[in-house]
Amino acid sequence: MSSPIFLIGARGCGKTTVGELLAQALGYDFHDTDHYLQQVSGQTVADIVAAEGWEGFRHRETQALMAVSAPETIVATGGGMVLAEINRRFMQERGSVIWLQASASVLASRLSAYPQSSQRPTLTGRPITEEMTEVLHQREALYQQTAHHIINAMQPPEQVAAQILDALSLARA
Residue 95 binds: one of ligand ADP, Mg ion, none (C-beta under 5 to 8 A by kind): none
Sole binder of ligand ADP in the list 4, 14, 80, 95 (CB under 6 A): 14
Q: How far is the CB of 99 from ligand ADP (least distance, A)?
A: 11
E strands within the chain? 5-8, 29-32, 73-76, 96-101, 149-152
CB of 169 to Mg ion, least distance (A): 26
- Local structure of 74: helix, strand or coil: strand
CB of 110 to ligand ADP, least distance (A): 4
Closest CB to Mg ion among 1 and 12?
Answer: 12
Quickly list DSSP for 139-163: HHHHHHHH-SEEEE-SS-HHHHHHH
**What count of residues does the chain have?**
173
Q: Which of residues 102-141 bind ligand ADP (CB under 6 A)?
A: 110, 114, 117
- Min. distance of Cβ 93 from ligand ADP in angstroms? 23
Contact residues for 158 (Cβ-Cβ < 8 A; gap 6+)? 21
Stretch that binds ligand ADP, among 6-14, 47-55, 87-95, 143-151 (CB under 6 A): 6-14
Q: State the distance between the two ends of the chain, measured CA to CA, in whole angstroms.
A: 13
Bridge partners (DSSP) listed for residue 77: none
In the complex, which residues of this chain contact ligand ADP (CB under 6 A)? 9, 11-17, 76, 110, 114, 117, 153, 156-157, 160
